């Protein structure tokens, strides 16, 4: 811990230059190292393999927020393609913290592609309570999944990270080159470091085995099938649940903190569409931020006001400033994504929030909370 902090704070210009040089070398190697694959006696280019081979895509965390969104895009929007088989795992299928169970489920399905969403997750206050659990459990899950994918010769793995992996003390906007430039915010350092290590994992699998394992970094995800737990959930689903309950009880909506911190929110269905693109067409080992633009960042106060409008909340809104605000902002650049997909249209925040609130109200009895 102390060593990492020291490296992050000492000579940031030198660290950035070294990181840039390493990533340039890695990108150059990647273009030649994963240019072709051998299947039996035949040799395929990467594009030929992805276009013509049968894809068996295994999604860990398939019953969670993003997993359900991918299912929706595949099944309801016609997002699947010929030659693709989709397998969505839940915690009932295997305990991914257990090496043997993870190996067994991968041997059973033998995926060619993996979308790794499974994780121990939680909001600010849960992270602050059990940072060690977040570190240990996520390290176990990630190591088991990536190694099991390697053992079944999976062609590609796309893991889901989070913007909390970025340094707390940094310049904004943050981008993909800045992940390892310093320690993350102290409030959720266990989860942040565990997620950050996936990037190290991916680069190591590439360097040693030529594996095309990569990661995506979404900003704050929300949507149907989220975890709406008030104590342990993320800020937006927590606000939705609190406002719904306060409205039923005729009480004020109590927002934890000052309302001043700022966040970029991405709708789970938009993220799902982008993840499908990454699986099929993004061929870098280096991670990519999946986010709305910097101009779409909103304060927690503005988010709370949007929830009030979406639910037609009529009571008072108060801010409990005795509660921690957490990190003030994590403004992320989506410039890399826009270079690849300049015409991608994100769902407007208010529309996505209204759809999420409507889903929560309609599914209140069965929603996670």
Residue-by-residue DSSP string for 74-135 = HHTS----TTEEEEE--TTT--TTSHHHHHHHHHHH--SEEEE-------HHHHHH-HHHHH
Map tokens 């043997």 to a residue.
100
* Catalytic residue from among 140, 191, 205, 282: 191
The phi, psi pair for 228, rounded to 5°, reads -95, 20
CA–chain centroid gap for 226, Å, is 13
Please give the Cα distance from 27 to 48 (Å, whole number): 20
Q: What was the pLDDT predicted at 127?
A: 66
Which residues are within 8 A (CB) of 281 and not within 5 positions of it... i.e. 6 or more apart?
Answer: none
SS3 of 32, please? helix
| Alpha-helix runs per DSSP H in 216-311 | 235-249, 268-281, 300-311
pTM exceeds 0.85: no
Q: Is 364 a catalytic residue?
A: no
Question: What pLDDT, on the 0 to 100 scale, is given for residue 319?
Answer: 93
Q: Phi/psi zone of residue 119: left (φ > 0), alpha (ψ -120 to 50 degrees), beta?
A: beta
Q: Using alpha carbons, list the distances in angstroms from residue 307 to 35, 123, 349, 361.
A: 48, 18, 11, 13
The radius of gyration of the chain from alpha carbons, rounded to an integer in Å, stands at 21
Distance CA 95, CA 87 (A): 16
Q: What is the dihedral of CA 281, 284, 69, 291, to 10 degrees?
A: -110
CA 80 vs CA 76, 232, 276, 280, 353: distances in Å? 10, 33, 9, 11, 25
Q: What is the pLDDT of residue 181?
A: 95
What is the model's pLDDT at position 6?
30
pLDDT in tens, the chain (369 residues): 323 223 233 333 333 333 433 443 344 344 334 333 333 333 444 444 444 458 999 999 999 999 999 999 999 999 999 999 999 999 999 999 999 999 999 999 999 999 999 998 776 667 677 889 889 999 999 999 999 999 999 999 999 999 889 998 999 999 999 999 999 988 888 999 999 999 999 999 999 999 999 999 999 999 999 999 887 778 899 999 999 999 999 999 999 889 899 999 999 999 999 999 999 999 999 999 999 999 999 999 999 999 999 999 988 899 999 888 777 888 999 999 999 999 999 999 999 999 999 999 999 999 988
- Nearest alpha carbon to residue 232 among 126, 94, 141: 126
Q: Are strands 156-160 and 113-116 parallel, antiparallel or unpaired?
A: parallel
The span from the CA of 246 to the CA of 314, in Å, is 10
Mapped onto helix, strand or coil, the DSSP state of residue 161 is: coil
CA distance 161 to 193: 10
Partners of 39 in the β-ladder: 42
- Which residues does residue 289 pair with via DSSP β-bridges, in sequence order? 217
Q: Furthest-apart CA pair in the chain: how many Å? A: 70
| Structure confidence at residue 328 (pLDDT) | 84
> Exposed, middle or buried: residue 125 (CB in 10 Å: 0-12, 13-18, 19+)?
middle
The per-residue pLDDT for 86 is: 97
Buried b (16+ CB within 10 A) or exposed e, 321-346: eeeeebbebbbbbbebbeeebeeeeb
């Amino acid at each position: 811990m102390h060593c990492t902090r020291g490296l992050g704070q000492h000579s940031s210009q030198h660290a950035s230059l070294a990181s840039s040089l390493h990533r340039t070398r890695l990108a150059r190697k990647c273009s030649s190292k994963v240019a072709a694959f051998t299947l039996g006696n035949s040799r395929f280019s990467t594009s030929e393999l992805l276009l013509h081979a049968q894809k068996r895509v295994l999604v860990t965390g398939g019953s969670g927020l993003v997993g359900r969104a991918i299912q929706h895009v595949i099944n309801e929007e016609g997002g699947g393609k010929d030659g693709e088989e989709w397998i969505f795992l839940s915690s009932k299928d295997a305990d991914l913290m257990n090496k043997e169970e993870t190996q067994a489920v991968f041997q059973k399905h033998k995926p060619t592609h993996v979308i790794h969403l499974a994780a121990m997750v939680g909001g600010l206050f849960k992270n602050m309570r059990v940072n060690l659990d977040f570190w240990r459990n996520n390290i176990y899950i990630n190591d088991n999944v990536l190694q099991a994918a390697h053992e079944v010769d999976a062609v590609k793995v796309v893991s889901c990270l989070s913007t909390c992996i970025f340094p707390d003390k940094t310049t904004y906007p943050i981008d993909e080159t800045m992940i390892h430039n310093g320690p993350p915010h102290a409030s959720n350092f266990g989860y942040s470091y565990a997620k950050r290590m996936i990037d190290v994992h991916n680069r190591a699998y590439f360097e040693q085995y030529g594996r095309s394992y990569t990661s995506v970094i979404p900003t704050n995800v929300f949507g149907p099938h989220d975890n709406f737990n008030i104590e342990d959930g993320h800020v937006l689903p927590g606000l939705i649940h609190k406002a719904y309950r306060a409205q039923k009880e005729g009480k004020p909506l109590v927002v934890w903190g000052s309302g001043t911190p700022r966040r970029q929110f991405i709708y789970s269905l938009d993220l799902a569409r982008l993840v499908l693109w990454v699986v099929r067409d993004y061929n870098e080992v280096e991670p990519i931020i999946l986010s709305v633009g910097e101009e779409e960042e909103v304060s927690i106060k503005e988010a709370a006001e949007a929830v009030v409008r979406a639910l037609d909340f009529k009571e008072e809104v108060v801010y409990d400033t005795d509660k921690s605000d957490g990190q003030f902002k994590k403004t992320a650049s989506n410039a890399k994504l826009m270079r690849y997909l300049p015409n991608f249209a994100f769902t407007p925040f208010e529309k996505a929030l209204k759809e999420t609130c409507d889903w929560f109200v309609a599914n209140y009895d069965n929603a996670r909370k």
